[in-house]
Structure 1
Amino acid sequence: MTPVEALQPAIALLGAGTVAALTSRALRLSPMVGYILAGIVIGPFGLHALSEGDTTHLLAELGVVFLLFDIGLHFSLKDAKNNKRDILGLAPIQMLLCGGGFSLVAVAFGISWPVAIAIGFSLALSSTAVVTRVLAERELNSSPLGQSSIAILVFQDIVAIFLLIFANSLEADPAQLVSAMAIAAGQSVVAFIAAALIGRYVVRPLFQVLASAKVPEIFTMTTVLIVVAAAVATGAIGLSLTLGAFLAGMAIADSPFRHAIQTEVSPFRGLLLSFFFVNVGLMIDVPSLFTNLPVIIALALGIMAVKTVMIFLTARMTGWNVPGATQLSFLLAQASEFTLVVLSISAIRVGAPGNWISILVASTALSLALAPLWAGFGIRLSRRFAEKLTESSDANAKISERSTGHEKPRVIVFGMTDAGRIMTDALVATHIPYVALDNDPRRFISATTDGYSVVFGDTSDFRMLETLGATDAPVLVLGEPRFSISQRLTDAVKERFPNLTRYVAVNDPAERSRHSALGMKAYVVQAQMDAIALACDVLKDLGLTELQINDWTESMIDRLERNDPGPEHPEPAEVA
């Protein structure tokens, strides 16, 4: 192969990606859709500029590898504990319901049980690449919806690792299937332990040495080396490349160099993920697509509809309100990039009759392309449900019960502005019972659909506080200034709630002075970091230690950083 032939796939991918990104911005489409369409246009059924091959598959898989590394960077046992309702409840139940249902359908079409299980459970997975991009574009990573989605995706990614092991083991003697799975499970446990030890005793000292060297290039080289080497290491022992990347991220997650490493990896992740989506477009058999178009469309929509219903029901079972469960279910309804990997395994291709693998590949790719539009429809529908909650006091009571967990709230939050949301995030993360209220319909609807537990009401109505059992709460946080109301109620508040400490987020120093004169602790909040500072002071007054507050602060900053989709990813059209 000549140098020109070797570089041609990369040139085609870069050119297609550039055009797709610019076109997506001009048409206000999600970049994911643009990349997939670009793959179809330059593929073997379009301009013939590029076809599937080892190079394109490698670049696409590296995109998923770097994505899993980034997820590992943000994964911690503490986060898993905070999201145990989703990781131990919603995620496994959803996998069993969707995976079991799809497997039964596959068996009904004549596919053997082992192959049907591999296909069925791969369809039950959601796309980490798609969902994280949607969350970032809509700035939802720090919301309960974003946190739960990431927790579910982490669980699914771990399941996917073992699913790939299972699918690959089908090529071996069926009698040795159980032993092969047991060996793979043992190897994975050893890999997890090794990653923890290497992260603590090798990676951290290594980056301390690199930092002292003050050579910028060596930091980037070492970061890429760790990702690729970890992926190759797990691949060499028969496990997936993605497991190694995820473990490499976990090994660095508790390091003080995590943010610098994330900065170094981010351009590689964005670039290679765009290659992944272009490669999805290359995999679509256009003639087969048109020949079997009704079947492919029906199958793609059927997969998304079934998953939407199953995830909605599971979310409701685990305590989600209707608007939040609706948005979550539509967000996670698509198939996964791992589905395409499973369908490409030779044992799966041989085990499926006729051209069903091609149809499934096209349906999976179509579900990935439809995912942003499907999620947008879910947002509109969830907002409709949230609008009805503004008229239902019974629903408000149920939401309040979920937020307080049957405990009397220690904090009242009014106004789901950025400051109110961040304050609520802090209280949830530190397990402090609270009640959140808002009387602005737009903010209430937006917060409810994003998974926040909010009551439609006003703190100036003391009867509402009595109904919510919040009259003994020692702290009130106002997410927006309401000077005239605060001035009018100050004497009544001091009389009825003498021990209540009032915090308020204001817009400028003049407002801070006026509210301070009323005995309130006023903070000028003009950026998210200002809101974090306000939340930290509230947590400190509630008796949390500096270590607890610092841990939450770092976690919150990480989530806010993930909300930035990067300059190459345009904002989508508003779907309100």
Structure 2
Amino acid sequence: MAAELSPAEAVDALVPAITLLGFGAAAALVSRALSLSPIVGYLLAGILIGPHMLGLIQESGGTHLLAELGVVFLLFDIGMHVSLRELKESRGDLLGLAPMHLALTGLLSAGALYMLGISWPIAIAVGLSLGLSSTAVVARILTEREQNSCPIGRTATHVLIFQDIVAIFLMIFATSLGEEETGATGLAGLVSEHVMGGAGVPLVLALLLAVIQAVIAFGAAMMFSRYLLNPVFRTLAATRNDEAFTAFTLLLVLAAACATAVIGLSLTLGAFLAGLAVSGTRFRHQVQTEMGPFRGLLLSFFFISVGLAIDLPSLIRNLPLVILGAVAILVLKTGLGYIAARVNKWSVPGAVQLATLLAQGSEFTLVILSLSSIMAGMPPALMGSLIAAIALSLALAPSWAILGGKLSRELARRKQVTMETANTPTVGRPVIVISMTSAGRLAIDALIDFGIPYIAIDNEPDRFLAAVADGYNVSFGDATNMKLIEAIGGNNARALVLGQARYEVSAEVTPTIRRQYPDLTRFVAVDNHHDLDRYLELNVRAHLLGGDPKGIEMVADMLRILGVPDDGLKDWLSREADLFTIGDGSDRHSRADEDDDEDVEDTVEEAA
């Protein structure tokens, strides 16, 4: 029988955990009240309870283990948001804008660190990590501003997916920098022992071997997902045993992390691959629900542990450097991001908004800076200042994005985009979308996804400018002018979508539309039964605003009338649901995947 702990030993073991939990909860509450990123609150909590201030907790093996587990669950969650389908559909951004954005920002940062005397391998690892943006912060901003599905939101999400994948290989590279002291493992260890007679493996070769191992592990994860994981999850779902489902998911994450560590790769790579395997199943949202509390709790421990290592007196002495560093991160990444967006054919307003949205530092940079191989090669003062500058950039990110949005709208206004139909020919029969409301935007998103040409019009200046700034191709004009409708292709239009329900206007133009365009199908989303009945009397296909996102029922009906098959429609509805849950609270993840499938089927049936 194991020896029991004495009361004093039990207290000593529990006090660090109680301290972390108490201050972590307080940091989360205060951050939410101040509209700050929780990451900033956790870092400040770590500084407060650390050895340089109150001294309530010291770094130890236990705190390091909790911090490592937080990173493991972070990478697992990132893996669940990466799917092969998403990679295929976003290949334009993944091969163009995303690598250019990272190369410009990351390599410039690496060059600056090298000029400060940092060795080039560490400068590259840290510099490229500084080129990354915060997935958590950007996703939250997109959700709060309802931009997940617009061109700006989609491109930003694609860039974040690319950066998350690059971050995995950055982890492999940064970890390999410390193998000179610890000894090579995995394939590098075998090469060192059996080919090089125990000599050290050159860094470039060690990195290449690590990438080969990662590719093999990736293939194994895909096979595991396809042939084993789906049947296991289906069996667990059939038992309706929540405890068994949670236990198996924890086992999956930790076992995958341990497996990659055993073959010489990092714990985090295994967690990422486990998440990638889960992303290919129908149970992804349920797994996110089960793992959400573990991820949030353990990740808070990681950021608190980073704060423990910050020397506050030294940080105060270098405060001007910290502020300068944060401003430099935001300004330089905005400027370089703007260049990358313009080279990839974004408009000036869209490029400005996209660049400011992705300008902050990344939580993954804090992960890189916490590695022993990186800490050993950077001066403590520079390390602390860099961590603080990243935290400050995360705190300023929402305000910076708001500023970018206002600037992009002002640029759109000065550009004075107007209706010039002669210069904007449309190939094929277009769908005309009037008013860039949430429902109108969603209709355009669907048309773009299915390659259906469209023409968008809005005569409300603020809404028009916001749509241009968000990356939509929209023109300013009064849709009640029938000559304008004829000029933009009304005679050849496949359908007309009313983003805003204005019954009196619709009733006034209906006789003309019936006479001049008898085959034109009209769609509208309304918010009450009275308008629903009135629009149906006008022979307009009307739908109540009831789903999330707004107008989803109308758009599903539009796609079906335009000839999109039910399977394609179900797949699109599922993708839209994913877009609108990224960065959202756990309340929207709390429903099971079976319920999601039922909602999709209900929407398709309603459209039918």
TM > 0.5 fold call: yes
User: What residue in structure 2 maps to residue 564 of structure 1?
Assistant: 584
User: What residue in structure 2 maps to residue 509 of structure 1?
Assistant: 529
Match of 1:306 among 321, 329, 332: 332
Task: Note the C-alpha offset of 1:189.
Answer: 0.9
The answer to whether the Cα contact below 8 Å between 1:284 and 1:365 also exists between their aligned partners in 2 is no
Match of 1:392 among 380, 402, 417: 417
User: What residue in structure 1 maps to residue 601 of structure 2?
Assistant: none
User: What residue in structure 2 maps to residue 414 of structure 1?
Assistant: 434
Query: How big is each residue's C-alpha offset from its partner over 1:104-142, in whole Å with a ceiling of 9 and x where there is no partner?
Result: 222222333222222221211112233233334444333
1:108 aligns with 2:115: yes
- Secondary structure of the 1:393 match is coil
1:552 aligns with 2:579: no
Name the CA distance, whole Å, in 1 between partners of 2:385 and 2:177: 21
Paired AA for residue 458 in structure 2: D
Which sits farther off after the overlay, 245-254 or 192-201?
245-254
The answer to whether the Cα contact below 8 Å between 1:409 and 1:433 also exists between their aligned partners in 2 is yes
User: What residue in structure 2 maps to residue 250 of structure 1?
Assistant: 276
1:162 aligns with 2:169: yes
Name the CA distance, whole Å, in 1 between partners of 2:375 and 2:41: 28
Alignment of 1:205-244 (within 5 A): 205-244=231-270
The answer to whether the Cα contact below 8 Å between 1:300 and 1:364 also exists between their aligned partners in 2 is yes
- Secondary structure of the 2:403 match is helix
User: What residue in structure 2 maps to residue 540 of structure 1?
Assistant: 560
User: What residue in structure 1 maps to residue 386 of structure 2?
Assistant: 360
User: Cα distance 1:293–1:285, how it changes in 2: closer, same or farther (>3 A)?
Assistant: same
User: What residue in structure 2 maps to residue 4 of structure 1?
Assistant: 11
Task: Note the C-alpha offset of 1:397.
Answer: 7.9
- Secondary structure of the 1:351 match is coil
Name the CA distance, whole Å, in 1 between partners of 2:366 and 2:37: 21
- Secondary structure of the 2:493 match is coil
Paired AA for residue 562 in structure 2: L
Task: Note the C-alpha offset of 1:149.
Answer: 2.0
Name the CA distance, whole Å, in 1 between partners of 2:455 and 2:258: 49
User: Cα distance 1:131–1:168, how it changes in 2: closer, same or farther (>3 A)?
Assistant: same
User: What residue in structure 2 maps to residue 74 of structure 1?
Assistant: 81
Which sits farther off after the overlay, 419-428 or 310-319?
419-428
Task: Note the C-alpha offset of 1:555.
Answer: 0.9
Unaligned residue ranges in structure 2 (runs of 5+)? 181-199, 589-608
Paired AA for residue 116 in structure 2: F
The answer to whether the Cα contact below 8 Å between 1:86 and 1:148 also exists between their aligned partners in 2 is yes
Paired AA for residue 409 in structure 2: R
Alignment of 1:166-565 (within 5 A): 166-172=173-179, 176-352=202-378, 355-388=381-414, 391-393=416-418, 407-408=427-428, 410-465=430-485, 468-469=488-489, 471-528=491-548, 531-562=551-582, 564-565=584-585
Paired AA for residue 230 in structure 2: R
User: What residue in structure 1 maps to residue 599 of structure 2?
Assistant: none
Which one has the largest radius of gyration?
2
Task: Note the C-alpha offset of 1:501.
Answer: 0.8
Name the CA distance, whole Å, in 2 between partners of 1:328 and 1:419: 22
User: Cα distance 1:258–1:26, how it changes in 2: closer, same or farther (>3 A)?
Assistant: closer
User: Cα distance 1:168–1:462, how it changes in 2: closer, same or farther (>3 A)?
Assistant: same
User: What residue in structure 2 maps to residue 574 of structure 1?
Assistant: none
User: Cα distance 1:294–1:474, how it changes in 2: closer, same or farther (>3 A)?
Assistant: same
- Secondary structure of the 1:187 match is helix
The answer to whether the Cα contact below 8 Å between 2:143 and 2:582 also exists between their aligned partners in 1 is yes
Task: Note the C-alpha offset of 1:93.
Answer: 0.6
Name the CA distance, whole Å, in 2 between partners of 1:274 and 1:555: 29
Task: Note the C-alpha offset of 1:560.
Answer: 1.9
Query: How big is each residue's C-alpha offset from its partner over 1:429-473, in whole Å with a ceiling of 9 and x where there is no partner?
Result: 222222222222333344344443333333223454466556522
User: Cα distance 1:4–1:149, how it changes in 2: closer, same or farther (>3 A)?
Assistant: farther
Residues paired across the two proteins, number = 562
Paired AA for residue 418 in structure 2: S
Name the CA distance, whole Å, in 2 between partners of 1:168 and 1:420: 48
Identical-residue share of aligned pairs (%): 49
Paired AA for residue 132 in structure 2: L
The answer to whether the Cα contact below 8 Å between 2:361 and 2:394 also exists between their aligned partners in 1 is yes
Paired AA for residue 16 in structure 1: F
User: What TM-score does the superposition give when structure 2 sets the normalisation length?
Assistant: 0.85
Paired AA for residue 280 in structure 2: D
User: Cα distance 1:425–1:69, how it changes in 2: closer, same or farther (>3 A)?
Assistant: farther
User: What residue in structure 1 maps to residue 606 of structure 2?
Assistant: none
Alpha-carbon RMSD:
2.8
Unaligned residue ranges in structure 1 (runs of 5+)? 569-576
- Secondary structure of the 1:476 match is strand
- Secondary structure of the 2:202 match is helix
Which sits farther off after the overlay, 423-432 or 26-35?
26-35
Task: Note the C-alpha offset of 1:537.
Answer: 1.4
Name the CA distance, whole Å, in 2 between partners of 1:245 and 1:353: 30
The answer to whether the Cα contact below 8 Å between 1:419 and 1:505 also exists between their aligned partners in 2 is yes
